[in-house]
């Protein structure tokens, strides 16, 4: 049987792709890619992360994701040893039920007797040895201070906890990034709004509004159920080519009446610079839904009642829905949550949710635009 790690490594070498390149293009941390190729699965937070990353990596290398997952599961089954005692049948010796009841009552009486004696002696000792509290004495509880880090190197790797602050000195000004939550995803409060990053994902931020990425934040480890364990993050201040904000169409917002009928739009909010946005969709009934994220990533499938979808984008999202009334949508950005108006029942909708630039004011506006 082929080893799944060798299959992945061979496929990557044939394509002449380095681990760093694969990590950037799949948004999977390098340590997890190395673990998939070497079989060091203990570095993953859990089994679902192994299967999910394995599917994405196999598809990226041009392999069959289902066959790779099957090879992994077969290898795990072979590694699980069956204890010899499980293979040997045991003869059962039946004890009368009355014997168990009698023995249990006897043991219970003995335990109650000894517990009573021990409790009585401890209570007496505590009463006699209790110190007299001085008047006006105040109990002082030490509170752990939140940590603050200043980015002075090109690479910063640290486990951050709720309340911690990361400071980026840039052009004589300090930009603060504060940790709001670390479970189930990492929530960061910034000057351009709250940013959400999931495990294995990366996000490039433009903090000073010059339409160029200032730093790249990657989440390498996180406990989705225990916020007290924090989140392990890697922050790069140089050495990445991704831009936080791509060019947006030059539309004169103040002259809306001159726009064609197909390009009318509604402004949800504006800002000095464009920043990442999050779309939350909740489905009320059966619906075929398709979305295109930043003009690159496209996904389409049927959704049933009560299913939810979350999409993050830097520049914009185009959506298609077979029944616009069957889905409730919200846009989250800059600490704001805005509902998007639904259409009539049974109406097919095509909308662009994107940043546009106002030539006159130089500001960016996030708009909802109908597409014919």
Q: From 219, 274, 282, select the one nearest 244 (Cα to Cα).
A: 274
- Residues β-bridged to residue 351: 319, 370
**Residue 40 CB partners (closer than 8 Å, separation 6+):** 34
Same domain, 232 and 306: no
- CATH number for the domain including 280? 2.60.40
Same domain, 286 and 232: no
Asked, for residue 174, whether it belongs to a domain, the answer is yes
* Cβ 60 vs Cβ 27: under 8 Å: no
Asked if the bond preceding 101 is cis, omega within 30° of 0, the reply is no
Positive or negative: CA dihedral 261, 263, 266, 272: negative
Domain edge (last residue) among 76, 95, 126: 76
Same domain, 229 and 310: no
**Residue 330 CB partners (closer than 8 Å, separation 6+):** 279, 280, 281, 337, 338, 339, 340
Asked, for residue 132, whether it belongs to a domain, the answer is no
* Cβ 60 vs Cβ 12: under 8 Å: no
Asked, for residue 92, whether it belongs to a domain, the answer is no
Same domain, 296 and 227: no
Domain that holds residue 213: 148-236
Q: Residues of 20-57 as b/e, b for ≥16 C-beta within 10 angstroms? A: eebbbebebbbbbbebbbeeebebbeeeebbbbbbeeb
Q: DSSP letter for 41, please.
A: G
Same domain, 287 and 228: no
Tokens of 290: 């398709």
Three-class DSSP category at 60: helix
Asked, for residue 167, whether it belongs to a domain, the answer is yes
Same domain, 21 and 71: yes
Same domain, 153 and 230: yes
Same domain, 346 and 295: yes
* Cβ 25 vs Cβ 12: under 8 Å: no
Tokens of 188: 């960061």
Same domain, 218 and 273: no
Same domain, 231 and 324: no
Same domain, 284 and 225: no
- CATH number for the domain including 37? 1.10.260.40
pTM above 0.85, yes or no: no
Positive or negative: CA dihedral 15, 21, 25, 31: positive
pLDDT value at residue 172 = 86
> For residue 199, which phi and psi values (nearest 5 degrees)?
-60, 130
Asked, for residue 230, whether it belongs to a domain, the answer is yes
Asked, for residue 121, whether it belongs to a domain, the answer is no
Asked, for residue 136, whether it belongs to a domain, the answer is no
Order of strands, sheet of 297-303, starting from the edge strand that comes earlier in the sequence: 265-271, 364-370, 349-357, 316-321, 287-293, 297-303
Same domain, 281 and 356: yes
How many structural domains comprise the chain? 3
Alpha helix locations (H) across 61-96?
65-79, 84-87
Q: Could you list the mean pLDDT of each consecutive 10-residue stretch along the chain, which spans 372 residues?
A: 81 89 88 87 86 89 89 79 50 70 91 89 75 45 72 90 92 90 88 80 75 81 87 86 44 39 72 88 93 91 94 92 91 85 83 90 89 80
Asked, for residue 118, whether it belongs to a domain, the answer is no
Instruction: Report the alpha-carbon distance of residue 309 to residue 303 in Å, rounded.
Output: 9
Domain edge (last residue) among 236, 258, 284: 236
Domain edge (last residue) among 47, 76, 105: 76
């Amino acid at each position: 049987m082929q080893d799944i790690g060798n299959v992945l490594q061979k496929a990557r070498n044939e394509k002449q792709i380095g681990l760093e390149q694969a990590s950037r293009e799949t948004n999977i941390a390098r340590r997890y890619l190395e673990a998939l190729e070497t079989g060091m699965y203990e570095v993953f937070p859990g089994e679902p992360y192994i299967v999910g990353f394995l599917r994405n990596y196999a598809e990226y290398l041009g392999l069959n994701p289902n066959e790779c997952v099957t090879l992994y599961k077969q290898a795990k089954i072979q590694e699980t040893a069956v204890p010899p005692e499980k293979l040997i049948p045991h003869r059962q010796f039946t004890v009368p039920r009355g014997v168990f009841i009698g023995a249990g009552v006897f043991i219970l009486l003995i335990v109650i007797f000894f517990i009573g004696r021990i409790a009585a002696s401890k209570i007496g000792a505590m009463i006699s040895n209790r110190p007299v509290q001085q008047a006006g004495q105040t109990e002082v509880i030490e509170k752990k201070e939140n940590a603050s880090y200043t980015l002075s190197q090109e690479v910063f790797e640290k486990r951050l906890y709720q309340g911690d602050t990361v400071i980026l000195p840039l052009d004589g000004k300090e930009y603060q990034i504060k940790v709001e939550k670390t479970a189930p995803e990492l929530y960061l409060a910034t000057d351009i709004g709250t940013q959400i990053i999931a495990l294995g994902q990366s996000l490039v931020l433009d903090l000073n509004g010059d339409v160029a990425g200032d730093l790249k934040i990657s989440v390498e480890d996180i406990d989705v159920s225990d916020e007290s364990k924090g989140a392990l993050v890697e922050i790069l201040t140089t050495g990445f080519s991704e831009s936080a904000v791509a060019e947006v169409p030059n539309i004169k917002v103040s002259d809306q009446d001159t726009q064609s009928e197909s390009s009318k739009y509604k402004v949800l909010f504006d800002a000095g610079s464009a920043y990442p946005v999050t779309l939350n969709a909740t489905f009320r009934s059966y619906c075929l839904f398709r979305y295109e994220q930043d003009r690159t990533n496209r996904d389409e499938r049927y959704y049933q009642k009560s299913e939810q979808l979350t999409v993050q984008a830097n520049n914009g999202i185009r959506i298609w829905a077979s029944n616009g009334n069957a889905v409730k949508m919200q846009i989250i950005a800059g600490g704001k949550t805005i509902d998007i108006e639904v259409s009539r029942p049974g109406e097919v909708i095509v909308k662009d949710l994107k940043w546009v630039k106002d030539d006159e004011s130089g500001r960016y506006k996030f708009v909802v635009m109908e597409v014919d």
